[in-house]
Amino acid sequence: MNVIAIAKVACVGLAAILTGWAGAAGAADAASEELQPVGAPDWIVQVTPYLWASGMKGDISPFSRAPTIHVDESFSDILKDLDFGGFLNVWARRDRFVLSADLMYVDLSDATVIGTLPVIGEIPGGLSASLDSVQFNATLQAGYRVVDTPRFTFDVLGGGRFWYISNDLTVQYADFSRSHGEDFNWIDPLVGARAFYNVTDRLSVMGQADIGGFGVGSDFTWQALGTVNYRFNDNWAVSAGYKVLSVDYDDDGHVFDATLSGPVLGFTYRFN
Each residue's pLDDT, cut to its tens digit, for the chain (272 residues) gives 333 344 443 333 333 333 333 333 344 344 445 555 566 568 899 998 888 888 889 988 878 877 888 888 888 877 888 787 777 778 999 999 999 888 878 787 776 655 555 545 555 556 677 788 888 888 899 999 999 999 999 999 999 999 998 988 888 766 777 788 889 999 999 999 999 999 999 999 999 999 999 999 999 999 998 999 999 998 999 999 998 989 999 998 899 898 988 888 889 999 87
CB atoms within 10 A of CB 143: 20
In this prediction the pTM is 0.79
Domain that holds residue 220: 3-271
Name the domain count of the chain.
1
Domain CATH code at residue 152: 2.40.128
Long-range contacts of 35-38 (CB under 8 A, 24+ apart): 35/234, 36/93, 36/272, 37/148, 38/95, 38/96, 38/145, 38/148
